[in-house]
Amino acid sequence: MRHYSAWSLLRARLAGNSHWQPLWSGQSLQQAYDVVVVGAGGHGLATAFHLARDHGIKRVAVLEKRLVGYGNVGRNTTIVRSNYLLPENHYFYEDSLRRYETLSRDLNYNVMYSPRGVVDLALSDDDFPGLARRGNALRLAGIDAELMNISALERFCPELEPRRSRRFPILGALVQRRGGTVRHDAVAWGYARAASALGVDIIEDCEVTGVRTRGEVATGVETNRGYVQAERIAFATAGHTGMIGTMLGVPLPIETHLLQAMVSEPVKPLLHTVLVYVAPGHAETYICQSDRGGLVMGGHLDGFPSYTREGQWDRLEDVVQGAVELLPQVGALRILRQWAGTNDMTMDGSPIIDRLRYDNVFVNAGWCYGGFKAIPASGAACARFVATGTAPDLIKAFRLSRFATGHLLDERGGGPFPARQ
C-alpha cells in the first residue's frame, strides 16, 4: 500500500491529481456474455466478483442503469450484524459477517469494518424475554450475543448514561460485539475494482429494459444500448425488482418503500457503538457515529410505497426525537444531510434468491432494510447458484415458492432493528 505525506498530497492536488487511477473503467459493452448481472449495487457486484474469482467464469458483465453505488448500497447506514432469531437467517447473516471481517484483505481494499457492537436496548421488562430468546438462539448457534443488565450496559457504553432519567427508562440490552459498521461506498468500490481486475465488464448508464426469450429459455437482455446475448441472467436490482417481475410476467411479493437516514454535522467522538432504540408507538431510532464524526441516524419506513428517494419530514422528526432522548447532546447539533433509498420489502421480511420464470434467469432481492449486511454472503451464494445451477444450502430457504406454500421466514425487523418477537 502506498503512503502519502501531506506535502505529496498537496503537490498532487496542485497538479490536478493526474496520477489518480480509475478503480474500474475502459470496458465496453460486448455483444455476448456467459453471465449478465443486472444492477451494480452491492449484491450485483459481489455476485460478479465471485462468478469470476470462484467459478472462473470469464465473460461476465454488470449492467447498471445509473452509476456504481448510486442505489441503496451507497445510501444505507452501514450497520452490519448477524443477530437474527430464525436459523435460516442467523446462519446466513453470520456467514456474511464473517466474510466482512476479512473483506478488506480479500478485496485488497479497505472497507473499514468497525466491530463496535450493536446494542439493542430494552426499555421495559417485557422487552427482556424476547431479547433473551433471540440471544439464546444465537448462542446455541455459536453466534455471539450478550444479554446485559443495566450495570453491564453502563460499563459497555458509559456515554449512554443508562441510569439517567428518561421518559422510557433503559433497563438493559442485547449486545452483539462483533456487529458494527462497514463503510458502504468502499464495499461497492472494492467489489467493483476487484471484479474489474478479474475481467468483469462494469457498464454504467446501461438500463435493462426487457428479456428476450426463445421457448422456455432466456437468450439475452434488451438495453438502452441494444441487445446483449447472455447464457444466464442474474437480476440484483433491489428496489426495482417489482419492475423486473412485471417485465417477466411474474408478480413478486415485493413492495418498494422509502427508508430515510440523516447525518449531523461532525463532532469529536461521543458515541463508540451502535444504539438501537425502539419505543413502540413513540420513536424508533438507531444511531452511530461515523469515522468523520457525524451522528448517523435512521428509523422506520416512511409508510407508503414510493420510488421518489425523498423522505417525509415527520419521519425525520420521529428519528431525531429518539436520538435526543438517548443522547441529549445530539439536540445541539445541526442536521447536515438527509436522504432516502428505495427498499425492496417482502411480506415476511426475508430475502428471495431463486430462479425467476426461466431456468437461466435468477433473482436476488427482497433485502428489505437489511441488505447491506448481506452482501458478502449473498454474492458468494448467488454466484454459486448461477454457476452450478444448484442453490447452496445457505440460501435454500430463500426460495420464492415459500410465499405460495406458506413456509414463510417471518422476521420483520428494521435496518438495524431486529424483529421483536
Ligand X SMILES: Cc1cc2nc3c(=O)[nH]c(=O)nc-3n(C[C@H](O)[C@H](O)[C@H](O)COP(=O)(O)OP(=O)(O)OC[C@H]3O[C@@H](n4cnc5c(N)ncnc54)[C@H](O)[C@@H]3O)c2cc1C
Alpha carbons 100 and 106: distance in angstroms, whole number: 9
> Per the structure block, which three cell numbers stand in for 362?
435468477
> Is residue 261 part of the contact set for ligand X (CB under 6 A)?
yes
Site track for ligand X across 296-325, x = CB under 6 A: --x---------------------------
Q: Is 194 exposed, middle or buried (0-12, 13-18, 19+ CB in 10 A)?
A: buried
Q: Residue of minimal CB distance from ligand X?
A: 41
Shortest gap between Cβ of 242 and ligand X (angstroms)?
10
> Is residue 47 part of the contact set for ligand X (CB under 6 A)?
no
- Could you write out the three-class secondary structure of 372-407? CCCHHHHHHHHHHHHHHCCCCHHHHHHCCCHHHHCC
- Which listed residue (42, 190, 366, 418) binds ligand X by CB under 6 A? 42
Site track for ligand X across 192-231, x = CB under 6 A: ---------------xx-----------------------
Q: Which amino acid is at 21?
A: Q
> Is residue 234 part of the contact set for ligand X (CB under 6 A)?
no
The region that residue 142 occupies, defined by phi over 0 for left and psi between -120 and 50 for alpha, beta otherwise, is left
> Is residue 84 part of the contact set for ligand X (CB under 6 A)?
no
Residues in a beta bridge with 235 = 38, 363
> Is residue 100 part of the contact set for ligand X (CB under 6 A)?
no
Q: Is 146 exposed, middle or buried (0-12, 13-18, 19+ CB in 10 A)?
A: middle
**325-344 positions binding ligand X, by CB under 6 A:** 341, 343
CA distances (Å), 321 to each of 77, 305, 340, in order?
18, 24, 18
- Which listed residue (24, 33, 35, 43) binds ligand X by CB under 6 A? 43
Residue closer to ligand X by CB (options 56, 251) is 251
Residue closer to ligand X by CB (options 135, 311) is 311
> Is residue 172 part of the contact set for ligand X (CB under 6 A)?
no
Q: Which amino acid is at 383?
A: A
Residue closer to ligand X by CB (options 166, 272) is 272
**367-396 positions binding ligand X, by CB under 6 A:** 367, 369-373
Is residue 113 within 8 A of residue 103, CB to CB? The reply is: yes
Shortest gap between Cβ of 370 and ligand X (angstroms)?
4
> Is residue 71 part of the contact set for ligand X (CB under 6 A)?
yes
- Which listed residue (116, 193, 240, 315) binds ligand X by CB under 6 A? 240
Alpha carbons 40 and 68: distance in angstroms, whole number: 5
Alpha carbons 43 and 192: distance in angstroms, whole number: 11
Shortest gap between Cβ of 396 and ligand X (angstroms)?
20
Residue closer to ligand X by CB (options 360, 364) is 364
Residue closer to ligand X by CB (options 207, 231) is 207
Shortest gap between Cβ of 109 and ligand X (angstroms)?
16
Measured CA angle at 187 (ends 183, 188), to 5 deg? 125
> Per the structure block, which three cell numbers stand in for 162?
443508562
> Per the structure block, which three cell numbers stand in for 54?
470462484
Alpha carbons 147 and 130: distance in angstroms, whole number: 11
Chain residues in the site for ligand X (CB under 6 A): 38-44, 63-66, 70-73, 75-79, 207-208, 236-240, 259-261, 298, 341, 343, 367, 369-373, 415-416
